[in-house]
Structure 1
Amino acid sequence: MAPLKTHPNILTSLALKDIISTRSKVPMNIPQIKNTKDVVRPKRKADCSPSKENRGNNKRKPMGDRDVNATEMKIKAADDKQKKVAPVKKATVQVRALPSVKTVQKQRQNENLPPPQAPGHKIVTRAAVKNVVPNQTAVIPKEVLKETNAMKVTKRLSNEFEKTEETLYCTALEEVAKKQHNLRSSRASESPPCDKLDEKDKEGNMTMIAKQIEVKLNLGNHEVPEDVEDYDKENWDDIFQVSHYAMDIFNYLKDRESQFEIPDYMDRQVCLSRWMRSLLVDWMVEIQESFELNHETLYLGVKLVDMYLSKMTVGKETLQLVGAAAMFVASKYDERIPPLIDDFLYICDGAYSRRELVRMEVSVLKVCGFDLGIPISYRFLRRYARCARITMPVLTLARYVLEYSLMNYDTITIRDSKLASAALYLAFKMKNISGWTKTLEFYTGYKLEEFKDVAILLNTGLQNPPKSQLMTVRNKYSHKIFFEVAKTPLISNDDL
């Protein structure tokens, strides 16, 4: 087998690599060398050798003078280095004098006259200030103390330094104190002090404000008609019934219902439908039953979902996240020990991350204005049932009717107090109990004609054939714990 041929350029490059020093500059026009032995190695130029123009008589000195040349070169390099470095400006530091010492400007050299001094005053120089020991107390004349006290500024002193009028730093507490002082002074100039007001004027203003609040919220209206049973009076000494102001509480809740009215929003939701909302509410009922949450938590969660959907557009993938976040917020509001965030992530089967759930929780709170004191129908139902003195099976049947109506989209525009009255009335009819009494008219504030159409709507929802995907509420109230009220025979709308 014949040996491999090498290209002449390769040999040339190898020869040049061994010959030419890497530190010297090689000319570009190098002829090709056929034989490496004939190559004459060029002279290596010294790093610090002088140029041709400056050579002249600067011949190389003997071996003994090499150290002298080296030292001269070092000195020259150091001088060049110092020239390149920019000169450093001297910083002038102003020494702040102690707060208890009065400083005096130094006398200029050209001036022969001493500065004007107060009688008995001593000049304190900077050197004297440096020599003062911190632990020792300097003896200061009384006149100096009077002058320094007069110059003190009425500001809160920081722990680090003493503030003066020239100080730009000012704390928030000082700003608040200034504003309060200015506000008090303006009020004092505009209106006379409270002590100078007549007692009759004070009583007149207070009674006028109290009457306005009572008229608006109907507070203190405990005058029960003769043909109405006074439930609060009979339980006046029971601390758990709070009969002293129970009527005021529910009058206040009814007054707040106008602030949380929900419009018909399904037309604006492009990706959602009524059926999808019913599936979501059924899933939220399952969460309430699995975590053993209060019923108030479920009703508040559904209310938060409707409020959010009425103001925000949501896709199919985000609908379950909205329901989980609403239940999470409601459980924090109504539960003594709410479930953890990991529990809700587990219920969602890992469809969402922790960050997504927390961000949706913040979004729900912002939409509702951080106001979670929303009147819900379940609270009204319990109040009306107690005032009517109904049994527990009848109340459970009314709770079943009311909870089943959560999946009905047509009920979102109806006020919760009216829904509770209609559910209770429908339970009366299903159990063959007497109709709407005057006691219920007084405590609910509704007559039968005002909510009869709502009762028909709830009854129509119960009569619809059950669907396999929406069986959570029926199965829940078919248990013996709830007296199997879901199996109660239904009635027609004509019997209402």
Structure 2
Amino acid sequence: MAPTKSLVNENRQTTNAVIGVRKGITTRNQKSLANHVGNVDVKQQAIITRETRIKRKADTSPVKGKTIKRSALGNITNAIAKPFGVNLQDPKKAVAKKSQIPSKAVPITKTVTSITTRASQIVTRATKVSKKDDEIIKPVDVVPAPAPPPPTRHITTRRSAGLIELEKSNDSSLYVSALEDIAEEASKKDDKIIKPIDKNDNVTEPETTNASSVIPGQLTVQKLDGTPKRKLPDGVQHDFDAENWRDPYQVSQYAMEIFEYLKSRESLFPIGDYMEKQVCLSTWMRSLLVDWMVEVQESFELNHETLYLAVKLVDLYLTKVTVGKETLQLLGAASLFIASKFDERIPPMVEDFLYICDGAYSQHELIRMEMNVLKVVDFDLGIPLSYRFLRRYARCVKVSMPTLTLARYILEYSLMDYTTISFSDSKIASAALLLALQMKDLGDWTPTLEYYTGYKIQDIRPIVLALNEGLHKKQKDALATVRNKYSHKIFFEVAKVPLKEILNI
């Protein structure tokens, strides 16, 4: 039975569509194929789409034998690149094609004779040019050669091939090595410094050094590393920074400037008498808070700078914001949290501070208080601390470790005293060191201390008296953390040193 005309037409349309797709030509039959052939399987459609992706030759192929420049990182495999669109040939086929082409062998005798004739032509041309030059040049009187210049000191430097080519030309090169430039400037300065020496003076000649032994930039390095000679005031025993000039941990080149800068920043963080504004707080409550903060610092083994910065943050916050009794401990915990993140290598976590508060506050409340404290101080945590000034002054005077620990005890004990909050940090550090020297019978205020601290005895006398009076106050059991801490053998039991009734200042 013969098929109907409709089936024949459908088969013709499908075959035409497939052929059109294979050739890469878009026709209207593709749309009709989607409409008429609705019951085609998914697998057949995938086969059709696969057949459509057939590689097509380029319309215009590049010229054979034409090479393309390769960029620096274009072909990392160092393979021989060919122009785009050229099909790579199989090496076996290429060899077969080469064998089919007859090669024209050139005899060796012909090449040798051509080379010799070429050389003879070049020789004849050279002789003609030399004769012309001899005719042009006139005889010149013989002049004695000038004496050679004195030997100069040369410095060997590594130069690239490009610089060598530039130096061969007569034009002045703009590319000069940095080390060579420094060495030339240093040599000019040395020539200016050298003065003529009289013959009568008995001066030993310096040892000559070979040019190969000179290192580029060596003169500049020696000048930078040289210890400076400062003119110290009368009575100053030694220059601490000059003695430690080569120690990179001391930063002796900038130590004086650093602490002068810290002293200038003390006026940016003023703390006044804020207890009149705080309705719910008292000086006793503040002393309890500081005592608790010392205990937290000791239990977490935090740095002393962390404790001093936290107490500063508490006082700065209370100066500007009124706080209730129930949020005072939260303020102390948030201040410790901020200071530990600023100064500690591995600060405690939020959960640790919530634990030491005995679960009185939530994590949201602690983070909220932390944000408020940072806003009050305008995110400026570079506050000058008395502990840093004390360590600097004690090292400059070269006091012993027990004496320095006694001064630390006096300074840390003063944190609980509300009357000392308005004192300058550099002044209270100087006063604590002087009081420790008085308690140890090691002397008075010396010119060396005056030189490094920048204060005279008149500037710190009232602060020394206030610190001594605070130590003589009756001690309460609730505020015994600092005393117990410095009564340990690790701290040389400095809390047990007898107090001075009368100070020799």
| TM-score, normalised relative to structure 1 | 0.55
Equivalent of 1:263 in 268, 272, 295: 272
Matched, 1:426 2:435: yes
**SS class of match (1:236):** coil
Matched, 1:227 2:235: yes
Letter paired with 2:256: M
Contact kept, 8 Å, 1:456 with 1:493, in 2: the verdict is: no
Contact kept, 8 Å, 2:405 with 2:494, in 1: the verdict is: yes
Which residue in 2 is equivalent to 1:285? Answer: 294
Paired with 1:247 and 1:493, the residues of 2 have a C-alpha distance of: 33
Which residue in 2 is equivalent to 1:472? Answer: 481
**SS class of match (2:341):** helix
Deviation per CA, 1:427-464, whole angstroms, max 9, x where unpaired?
00000011111011011011111111100100011011
Deviation per CA, 1:321-356, whole angstroms, max 9, x where unpaired?
000000000000110000000000000000000000
Residue pairs, 1:321-336, within 5 angstroms: 321-336=330-345
Residue pairs, 1:8-19, within 5 angstroms: none
Contact kept, 8 Å, 1:474 with 1:486, in 2: the verdict is: yes
Matched, 1:446 2:419: no
For residue 465 of structure 1, report the CA deviation from its aligned partner.
1.4
Deviation per CA, 1:348-368, whole angstroms, max 9, x where unpaired?
000000000000000000000
Paired with 1:352 and 1:478, the residues of 2 have a C-alpha distance of: 33
Matched, 1:357 2:366: yes
Over 3 Å counting, the alpha-carbon distance change for 1:439 and 1:353 in structure 2 is same
**SS class of match (2:339):** helix
Which residue in 1 is equivalent to 2:307? Answer: 298
**SS class of match (1:319):** helix
Paired with 1:390 and 1:491, the residues of 2 have a C-alpha distance of: 19
Which residue in 2 is equivalent to 1:386? Answer: 395
Contact kept, 8 Å, 2:411 with 2:429, in 1: the verdict is: yes
Letter paired with 2:418: Y
Over 3 Å counting, the alpha-carbon distance change for 1:449 and 1:356 in structure 2 is same
Paired with 1:356 and 1:397, the residues of 2 have a C-alpha distance of: 38
Letter paired with 2:252: S
Unaligned runs of 5+ in 1: 1-134, 138-219
Paired with 1:326 and 1:437, the residues of 2 have a C-alpha distance of: 37
Paired with 1:261 and 1:441, the residues of 2 have a C-alpha distance of: 24
Which residue in 2 is equivalent to 1:456? Answer: 465
Contact kept, 8 Å, 1:422 with 1:452, in 2: the verdict is: yes
Letter paired with 2:233: P
Residue pairs, 1:70-109, within 5 angstroms: none
Which residue in 1 is equivalent to 2:254? Answer: 245
Which residue in 2 is equivalent to 1:436? Answer: 445
Contact kept, 8 Å, 2:294 with 2:307, in 1: the verdict is: yes
For residue 423 of structure 1, report the CA deviation from its aligned partner.
0.2
Over 3 Å counting, the alpha-carbon distance change for 1:458 and 1:221 in structure 2 is farther
Paired with 1:311 and 1:464, the residues of 2 have a C-alpha distance of: 30
Which residue in 2 is equivalent to 1:318? Answer: 327
Over 3 Å counting, the alpha-carbon distance change for 1:230 and 1:365 in structure 2 is same
Letter paired with 1:253: L
Aligned residue pairs total: 282
Residue pairs, 1:140-155, within 5 angstroms: none
Residue pairs, 1:396-411, within 5 angstroms: 396-411=405-420
Contact kept, 8 Å, 2:438 with 2:503, in 1: the verdict is: no
Paired with 2:290 and 2:302, the residues of 1 have a C-alpha distance of: 15
Paired with 2:254 and 2:282, the residues of 1 have a C-alpha distance of: 42
Contact kept, 8 Å, 2:444 with 2:504, in 1: the verdict is: no
Contact kept, 8 Å, 1:426 with 1:455, in 2: the verdict is: yes
Over 3 Å counting, the alpha-carbon distance change for 1:396 and 1:313 in structure 2 is same
Paired with 1:431 and 1:234, the residues of 2 have a C-alpha distance of: 26
**SS class of match (2:259):** helix
Percent identical among aligned pairs is: 67
Which residue in 1 is equivalent to 2:142? Answer: none
**SS class of match (1:252):** helix
Letter paired with 1:231: F
**SS class of match (2:320):** coil
**SS class of match (1:310):** helix
Contact kept, 8 Å, 1:261 with 1:415, in 2: the verdict is: no
For residue 226 of structure 1, report the CA deviation from its aligned partner.
4.9
Letter paired with 2:402: P
For residue 225 of structure 1, report the CA deviation from its aligned partner.
2.4
Letter paired with 2:377: C
Equivalent of 1:484 in 478, 488, 493: 493
Deviation per CA, 1:235-289, whole angstroms, max 9, x where unpaired?
0001111101000100000000111111110000000000000000000000100
Paired with 2:256 and 2:331, the residues of 1 have a C-alpha distance of: 35
Contact kept, 8 Å, 1:221 with 1:247, in 2: the verdict is: no
Over 3 Å counting, the alpha-carbon distance change for 1:495 and 1:438 in structure 2 is closer
